[in-house]
Structure 1
Amino acid sequence: MKGHLMTLTYLLTGGTTPDGVQTDVGIDAHGTIAHLGPHRTADAAEVIDVSGKIVLPGLVDLHTHLREPGNNDAETVETGSRAAARGGFTAVHAMANSNPVADTAGVVEQVHRLGREAGWTDVYPVGAVTVGLAGERLAELSAMHDSAANVTMFSDDGMCVWDPVLMRRGLEYVKSFDGFIAQHAQEPRLTEGAQMNESALSSELGLAGWPAVAEESIIARDVLLAQHVDSRVHICHVSTAGSVELIRWAKSQGIRVTAEVTPHHLLLTEDYVKTYDPLYKVNPPLRRDTDVHALRQGLADGTIDTVGTDHAPHTDEKKQCEWVVAAMGMTGLETALPVIQHTMVDTGLLDWHGVARVMSANPASIYGHGEHGQLTQTGGLVEGASANIAVYDPNHRFVVNPVEHTSKSANSPYRGMELAGQVSEVFYRGHRVVAAAHLTTPYQHS
């Protein structure tokens, strides 16, 4: 196509790629990136000036709670995927702890269908590892993989697969189709009744402590199990410095382990718990300054592969109550990119190429997009690829107001915090789902 006049649906002009190059991006009627380069001749139906903004590949979140089926008062696939689109995500992976649990082909196909009907992002269901998340017997892993949802990722997130025999069997089972298990690393016997990070502060506040070793002991066990059976394990929401070191060691041994960190664990510390505001109650808990520093360094040096939002919406009834009875979790899809800018880019730990790596390319690669017929998410800006694009203004400043968010729930821990950055345009499969920072119309799947 280079050197010829092209008819485009959209032409984005004046933007900067993650590599720092000013580039025009053309999107054709087939929803593909038909042009990528400086000042090319093109006939476009609509020209959009994105000068001063970063043109990123669409973001991919491996860890999202969309609640549906069963908990529609907190979120639905439709409202959650709309929130994802406003945050710059063109693919999200819906965790299995719905009601009923996504532990059968029927449930994961329902979530997959709801995502296609919504049309705001790709929605990939995550299958449960065990029936009902009960940790007693394996779920229908093969049936979920062979279903229309083509599940590759399995997790009991919210619960730990604590039985080492079951974890080993699960790792062996998914290996046959290059799937992987995403582990919620929490030894339940060490965290019974736990309310916050175990520290001098937890004693001062009179809240039961959640020791770092509860996370680290499961990670140590599971990387060794993955090594033993030569299978893939992914560690959800890493939160301690010790966990980073364990993952770093495992990778040095060639063990097939990947890991994620949440935006809130990169920014917030246990000191926020002093207010007893349940907005800061989360699993795993907010940790110490030293843990936050180690997590940032681990993400910067590649020990931690990706950012997972762990978007966990809850109704006001479950969050606006006493700390000890409040639900654990925070919303995060609509604030993820500004928080990553604040913690990683503005601190010099990552450039925008690095952001594209940890929020798009790496999660797409981990899941296996492109290896199982799922070609819409490549994690990069490439001519001929599906046009999944997020345009981001790093200079826009705002005060977080969860009431203005698209998510059905408002339990954001950043309420009242001033941040920089705004997703101004999002293209999902070449369709403009966000324009001038506002939602437009969803993509119509055939």
Structure 2
Amino acid sequence: MSKILIRGAEVLGGAPQDVLIDGETIAAVGTGLDAGGAEVVDAAGKVLLPGLVDLHTHLREPGREDSETVLTGTRAAACGGYTAVFAMANTFPVADTAGVVEQVYRLGQEHGYCDVQPIGAVTVGLAGRQLAELGAMHESAAGVTVFSDDGKCVDDAVIMRRALEYVKAFGGVVAQHAQEPRLTEGAQMNEGVVSAELGLGGWPAVAEESIIARDVLLADHVGSRVHICHLSTAGSVEIVRWAKSRGIAVTAEVTPHHLLLTDELVRSYNPVYKVNPPLRTERDVRALREALADGTIDIVATDHAPHPHEDKDCEWAAAAMGMVGLETALSVVQETMVDTGLLDWAGVADRMSSAPARIGRATGHGRPVSAGEPANLTLVDTAYRGRVDPAGFASRSRNTPYEGRELPGRVTHTWLRGKATLVDGKLT
């Protein structure tokens, strides 16, 4: 590999510095570094961050390659500034065996746009009745440490307890999709004023909050780690805040769309806004932003959920739930957290790189931008503003809620262990 000199970047939003990459490693960080024959990237006015890490991505392969593949999903990740993603287990077949997680892991290695760490299912077939091969998946070549039935809640308390006990032995974590199924039968959107006016089945906040309350108590009882996926209500924030004050080993994530969008958008009946958990109220959005800022919520995770056109371009009740998010996540975080003064760029680096890498134990990712560290880096033009055009997405799917919306920020370069995967906004 040739040397690369990133000239004049604002590292974590601080004073301009030069960053020299030599092979797979950051060789030096400072001012006035000698290029010495290196390829020079003019980064004046741009912010340099450690490569982003997404703890919650749906790559769909194997089984739903019409929605996304490991190749297209990781290309989308590179466009969004990600150098590592964790692939959820709700594939066909389900990633509940060592064989399936190894397949996904090797596909990620072959394509090379970002590292892919499979997430293993908690239960066989996501059915919630029998623990999957947690130990075998951990001991496989994929080295799985995060387990989730995302898309379905592990609602049986005994199964959840056993899963927490099992993963404790090797320091793993159970990532819970908090949704009490009996309370959400027929639910179509957030339960509240808007659902009543529209006549759509309501999805009550308590369906999320009751599972979170149960699971933090179980994690405390077992002495194990639990992670809460896509937390979406003000009440959930308070439960997690209480649990952390008690020293319970709980972490939580919020999606970009829950930081920006509200259930008022459902008045359009546009299925692009149909998502699980549903868009909530303005009060919930404010609570989520404040919790991300103060650290109650640990990370931003995209819940990138691609769907083919026919699964979203239909009547609301029949539409699939989910939104793509890898290519717009950083822009939404800039809009909601940085430009509002709630987080600085060092805080963004923590919530979108260091903390998710730590929770998922993604070796070599989320590291400081300093000499001797792996050259997993993202360069962002924070002054840019532009309208979202899904026609230009690298993802195979186009189900974005931001089409036509003006958002700030644009990832211009992404480096994975010193290799450029994105240059001037274009995939290599």
Same fold (TM over 0.5): yes
Structure 1: runs of 5 or more not aligned: 1-6, 441-446
Contact 1:101/1:128 (CA < 8 Å) preserved in 2?
yes
1:397 to 385, 392, 396: 385
Q: What whole-Å deviation, never above 9, does each CA across 1:363-418 have from its counterpart, x for those lacking one?
A: 0111123xxxx3x2133212111100000001111101111111000000001100
Contact 1:265/1:287 (CA < 8 Å) preserved in 2?
yes
Contact 1:59/1:379 (CA < 8 Å) preserved in 2?
no
Bigger drift between 10-19 and 303-312 goes to 10-19
2:69 to 65, 70, 76: 76
Contact 1:59/1:360 (CA < 8 Å) preserved in 2?
yes
Contact 1:8/1:43 (CA < 8 Å) preserved in 2?
no
Contact 2:232/2:258 (CA < 8 Å) preserved in 1?
yes
Structure-to-structure mapping, 1:218-237, within 5 angstroms: 218-237=211-230
Structure 2 residue matching 1:354: 3-state secondary structure: helix
Rounded Cα–Cα distance in structure 2 between residues aligned with 1:113 and 1:8: 26
Q: What whole-Å deviation, never above 9, does each CA across 1:308-356 have from its counterpart, x for those lacking one?
A: 0000000011000000010000000000000000000000000000000
Cα shift at 1:44? 3.5
Cα shift at 1:19? 4.9
Residue equivalent to 2:420: 432
1:318 is the counterpart of 2:311: yes
Contact 1:378/1:385 (CA < 8 Å) preserved in 2?
no
1:385 is the counterpart of 2:379: no
Rounded Cα–Cα distance in structure 2 between residues aligned with 1:72 and 1:16: 39
Task: Kindly provide the amino acid, as one letter, of the partner of residue 394 in structure 1.
Answer: T
Bigger drift between 393-402 and 274-283 goes to 393-402
2:296 to 290, 303, 309: 303
Residue equivalent to 2:355: 362
Q: What whole-Å deviation, never above 9, does each CA across 1:176-201 have from its counterpart, x for those lacking one?
A: 00000000000000000100000011
Residue equivalent to 1:207: 200
Cα shift at 1:41? 2.8
Contact 1:241/1:295 (CA < 8 Å) preserved in 2?
yes
Structure-to-structure mapping, 1:282-301, within 5 angstroms: 282-301=275-294
Task: Kindly provide the amino acid, as one letter, of the partner of residue 202 in structure 1.
Answer: S
TM-score (norm 1): 0.95
Structure 2 residue matching 1:43: 3-state secondary structure: coil
Rounded Cα–Cα distance in structure 1 between residues aligned with 2:2 and 2:392: 34
Rounded Cα–Cα distance in structure 2 between residues aligned with 1:379 and 1:234: 21
Rounded Cα–Cα distance in structure 2 between residues aligned with 1:285 and 1:39: 50
Runs of 4+ in structure 1 deviating by more than 6 angstroms, as ranges, are: none
2:18 to 20, 24, 36: 24
Cα shift at 1:8? 6.0
Q: What whole-Å deviation, never above 9, does each CA across 1:68-105 have from its counterpart, x for those lacking one?
A: 00000000000000000000000000000000000000
Rounded Cα–Cα distance in structure 1 between residues aligned with 2:171 and 2:339: 37
Rounded Cα–Cα distance in structure 2 between residues aligned with 1:408 and 1:216: 34
Structure-to-structure mapping, 1:150-189, within 5 angstroms: 150-189=143-182
Contact 2:13/2:48 (CA < 8 Å) preserved in 1?
no
Structure 2: runs of 5 or more not aligned: none
How many matched pairs?
428
Rounded Cα–Cα distance in structure 1 between residues aligned with 2:370 and 2:129: 45
Rounded Cα–Cα distance in structure 1 between residues aligned with 2:219 and 2:32: 49
Cα shift at 1:21? 2.1
Structure-to-structure mapping, 1:77-116, within 5 angstroms: 77-116=70-109
Residue equivalent to 1:444: none
Task: Kindly provide the amino acid, as one letter, of the partner of residue 400 in structure 1.
Answer: V
